[in-house]
Structure 1
Amino acid sequence: MRNIDLSPLYRSFIGFDHLASMIDNASRNEKQATYPPYNIELLADDKYRITMAVAGFAEPEIEIEVQENTLLVTGNKPGKDEERKFLHKGISERNFERKFQLGDHVKVLGADLQNGLLHIDLERVIPEAKKPRKIEIGNSFIENKAE
């Protein structure tokens, strides 16, 4: 078991407390259940796909919500059918909640459910003001007023 002391980050970095909190939360969430299993795939530069194995769930039973930089996927099965008797039960049809922390400027494009797999497509769209820009040498804004 790993235990990381993040208190130096809290007292040394002003304005980065949000980052330290995210690292702290991520280390705590490592102990979360692994249901449902999922993949995170890089499709192209700045394009991603999350694929979750949600066997037994129909579209109306799955909810996808984005709030700030958190993607929340929940699955709720209606009341259990008590009349069913299983000799072996290997398909887990339990409710779930899975959270994903999204990076800055990552947008959810859409979702699709096919063959028991939920695909969620994402894209990082960096605004023009945040993209790197080249500054040419020799184009100074300061004019020489010594004339």
Structure 2
Amino acid sequence: MIFLNCSNTQGVKNQEENNAVDKLQKMALEYTPINSGKPSQLPEIDSEQKKYIINAVSIDKNASEQYITLIILKLYRSHLECCNQAYEIRKTNIIDKEEQPLLYQFIILSNIIDVNEIKEFLPSSIGYDFVMEKPSLRKYKAIDNEMNTINRILKRIKKGDL
């Protein structure tokens, strides 16, 4: 007779779930937008990454909100550094959860717009605007650092020091 240790199975599942949040954190901290003659885009997400993004959001909404917001902020900063303005963040005029899972999850978590609403323009500054509406996110040091950097760039742009 074979007995399955259900508590061990649960332990493996909990470990996988914790890994999902850790992987999302790692993705956020390591994401570095590259401006190669044109504005950067959100990172391409493979099927494994989609899975852990969804798992991370279901496990820990607060941490996921921080990490995904950080990625969006980094993209906005790169647009400001490159071109002194925000750019369209979507690939199409809809927010497709399969094609752009980071953006889709950000919209769901932030509730900044209706995910089904078709907007003419969705700027990369959406993460910045969200943090301005929810300043408690600045308790996360990486977000606070990005916001400070963005504010310095915006001040420089406003002064015309391009």
- What is the TM-score when the length of structure 2 is the normalising length? 0.25
Which of 1 and 2 has higher RCO (CA within 8 Å, sep 6+)? 2
- What is the TM-score when the length of structure 1 is the normalising length? 0.26
* Higher CA-based Rg: 1
Structure richer in strand, relative to its length: 1
